[in-house]
Chains A and B, each alone.
Chain A
Amino acid sequence: MQSFSSKKKVIEQKKMTLLERLYLPAIFQGLGITLKHFFKKKTTINYPEQKRSVAAAFRGLHVLKRDEKGAERCTACGLCAVACPAEAITMEAGERRAGEEHLYREEKYAIKYEINMLRCIFCGFCEDACPKDAIYLETTFAPANYDRNDFIYGKDRLVEGFKRDEIVPPVVRTLEEANL
């Protein structure tokens, strides 16, 4: 048949010589190649012990930053939640009480701040949106888990250097207010 494109190439299959038909030279060649790989340096990285270094611009798990005095920067403005394309961020704002100045920098702060790590696409838009430089994406990964609910990260897992007693008063207080 005539070829309509000029790309047709007739490949001739040559009859194999006796040495080629014996296959033994080819087999020994193959054995040589595998033996070479046997002694090669292994490319595997033993994950939990060794970790692959990540790029400086890598976007991993979020962290809520504190300022120089150790007070939380976040003011629960909600810009990150608006910016989030995956709608992974929710929060609940509260008012700072007297005597809590060392905990929260501004008068308004987030009582509840949750990121659903199953929804999050780690785009980093929240980082860009934050006017207070409060949220940053760091270089750690979200570890695996058995329960879907455990992928919803609260303040306890997001805030930098979080101490358990910090969150207890606000939660108790909001519950009391709700009861009133």
Chain B
Amino acid sequence: MDFQGFVITLISIITLFSITMFIALYSTFAERKVAAFMQDRRGPNRAGPGGIFQPLADGLKFFMKEEVIPVASNKFLFVLGPSIAIMSSLMTGVIIPWGGQLIVFGNTVSLQIVDLDIGILYVFAVLSVGVYGIMIGGWASNNKFSLMGAIRASSQIISYELSMGFSIVALLLVTGTMSLHEIVERQHGMNWNIFYQPLGFLIFLICAFAETNRTPFDLPECETELVGGYHTEYSSMKLGFYLFSEYINMFISSAVMVTLYFGGYNFPFMDQLLHATGSQNLVTIVGTILLFAKVFFFIFFFMWVRWTIPRFRYDQLMNLGWKGLIPLSIVWLMLTAAGVLFFKS
């Protein structure tokens, strides 16, 4: 790699990292605000105007708290757990196309850091590694509640990964490529995949809720049964890492959903805009802004559902996963295959 390319990649990785962290930080704030608003309250409003500095205060608190490592725990794995959790959730962002081409001082810069031809598989691989953070942390705590949380997390994520995989395979039949960049390019304008894959999207959405351990599938950390679930024994910034990784996962899975089904940075009338202004940069920037708007809507949707629907019971979760979603996604896969065969020949 030449030096210039290296510098551009480094800058974009650092930018992406800071944006991800910033959004995760403010997602915690948004979550509290949304929860409050849906319960006719005001939410945190003391730190700064409208409580805008509340996440900074929360982060500071996490750093200042005493760090407790249980005596009977496995020290190395206890520290490793949250590290894996946050690392795996931060890794997915690099292959998401955050925008089109940007021309800066004559250089063409792509707003996607890495374009793999197997982009979706990379997302899946990182996702499947992420569960180790929860499992290792829960086991290393040497606490029965943590272990229960870890076991629940692993079986839940394994179960829902299957139907998520099937729904993505159905999508791949339509797009014909695994590269996220090409998938987005195919949805140019208003030609979004959601119109071809409505049921596939629904299955993917439900599985995304299960994979990110969000309500109504937050059994690994449900307070009423397991104290804190897999992070019962964690304190200080290690707990912060677990909570943060959940919010980053939420952000990334929203971004993946938008990329796969809602056209990514595409928006209607983008050709007309390019034609009218003649500026590729403007179209790219508008696209990126709209991409983030869509992502924020999905983050809001995650929160909206959390404060609406109660938690599933464990057998209900497994029933829904194995008896509901997997057969449904297989049927949908068959239908899609038949449709592709019928329309393309």
9 new A-B contacts, CB < 8 A, other than A30-B308, A46-B45, are A27-B309, A31-B305, A34-B38, A35-B38, A37-B40, A38-B37, A38-B38, A42-B41, A44-B41
Closest A residue to B216 by CB, please name it: A27
Task: Select from chain A the residue with minimum beta-carbon distance to B305.
Answer: A31
Q: Which of A40-83 contact B (CB under 8 A)?
A: 40, 42-44, 46
Q: Give every chain B residue within 8 A of A37 (Cβ-Cβ).
A: 37-40
21 A/B residue pairs, CB under 8 Å, sorted by A: A27-B308, A27-B309, A30-B309, A31-B304, A31-B308, A33-B308, A34-B308, A35-B38, A37-B38, A37-B40, A38-B34, A38-B37, A38-B38, A40-B40, A42-B37, A42-B40, A42-B42, A43-B40, A44-B41, A44-B42, A46-B45
A35 to chain B: closest CB distance in Å?
7
List B residues 25-61 near A (Cβ within 8 Å).
34, 37-42, 45
* Cβ of B49 to closest chain A Cβ, rounded Å: 13
Judge if B332 is at the interface, Cβ distance under 8 Å: no
B307 at the binding interface (Cβ < 8 Å): yes
Residues of chain B within 8 A of A34, CB atoms compared: 38, 304, 307-308
| Whole-angstrom CA separation of A35 from B37 in the bound complex | 9
Question: A12-49 vs B: 1/0 string, CB under 8 Å?
Answer: 00000000000000010011011101101011101000
Write the chain B residue with the least CB distance to A28.
B308
In this complex, the interface size class of chain A, counting residues with CB under 8 Å from chain B, is: 10 to 19
Could you tell me the distance in whole angstroms from the C-beta of A70 to the nearest C-beta in chain B?
A: 41
> Which A positions have Cβ atoms within 8 angstroms of B?
27, 30-31, 33-35, 37-38, 40, 42-44, 46
**Whole-angstrom CA separation of A44 from B36 in the bound complex:** 10
Question: Which residues does chain A contribute within 8 Å of B304, judged by CB atoms?
Answer: 31, 34-35
Prevailing SS type, chain A contact patch: helix
Tell me the bound Cα distance from A35 to B305 in angstroms. Answer: 10
List, in ascending order, chain B residues with CB within 8 A of A27's CB.
308-309
A125 to chain B, nearest CB (A): 38
Q: Which residues of B contact A (CB under 8 A)?
A: 34, 37-42, 45, 304-305, 307-309
The 10 closest A-B pairs by CB, nearest first: A34-B308, A34-B38, A44-B42, A30-B308, A38-B37, A42-B42, A37-B38, A43-B40, A44-B41, A31-B308
**CA A27 to CA B305, docked complex, whole Å:** 9
- Residues of A near B37 (CB, < 8 A) are 37-38, 42
Residues of A within 8 A of B39 (CB): 37
Residue of A nearest to B38 (CB): A34
Give CA–CA (A73, B114) in the complex, Å: 84
A74 to B138, CA, bound (A): 68
A residues within 8 A CB of B309? 27, 30
Chain A residues near B38 (CB, 8 Å)?
34-35, 37-38
CB distance from B163 to the nearest CB of A (A): 16
Beta-carbon nearest neighbor of A40 in chain B: B40
Least CB distance, A163 to chain B, in whole angstroms: 35
Which residue of A is nearest B39, CB measured? A37
Give Cα distance in the complex from A94 to B89, angstroms: 76
Task: Say how far B327's CB is from chain A's closest CB, in angstroms.
Answer: 14
Q: How far does the alpha carbon of A75 sit from the alpha carbon of B307 in the complex, in Å?
A: 61
Residues of B with C-beta under 8 A to A44: 40-42
Q: Which residues of A contact B308 (CB under 8 A)?
A: 27, 30-31, 33-34
CA distance A15 to B167 in the complex (A): 30
What's the Cα separation between A40 and B38 when bound, in Å?
A: 8
A145 to B256, CA, bound (A): 52
A35 vs B297: C-alpha distance when bound (angstroms): 13
- Distance to closest chain A CB from B237 (angstroms): 30
Q: How far is the CA of A42 from the CA of B309 in the complex (A)?
A: 21
- Give the docked Cα–Cα distance between A52 and B38 (Å): 23
CA distance A42 to B35 in the complex (A): 12
A43 → B minimal CB distance (Å): 5
Chain B residues with CB below 8 A from A35, complex form: 38, 304
Chain B proximity of A37: nearest CB distance (Å) = 5
Residues in chain A near residue B305, CB distance under 8 A: 31
Q: Collect the chain A residues with CB atoms within 8 Å of residue B40's CB.
A: 37, 40, 42-44
> Chain A contacts of B34 at CB under 8 A?
38
In the bound complex, what is the Cα–Cα distance between A33 and B38 (angstroms)? 9
- Write the nearest CB–CB distance from B158 to chain A, whole angstroms: 23
Distance in angstroms from A31 CB to nearest chain B CB is 5
By CB atoms of chain A within 10 A, which of B38, B41, B305, B307 has the most?
B38
CB distance from A23 to the nearest CB of B (A): 9
Q: How far is the CB of B277 from chain A (nearest CB, A)?
A: 36
B residues near A46, Cβ cutoff 8 Å: 42, 45
Which residues from chain A contact B41 at a C-beta distance below 8 Å? 42-44
Nearest B residue to A37 by beta-carbon distance?
Answer: B38
A48 CB to nearest chain B CB (Å): 10
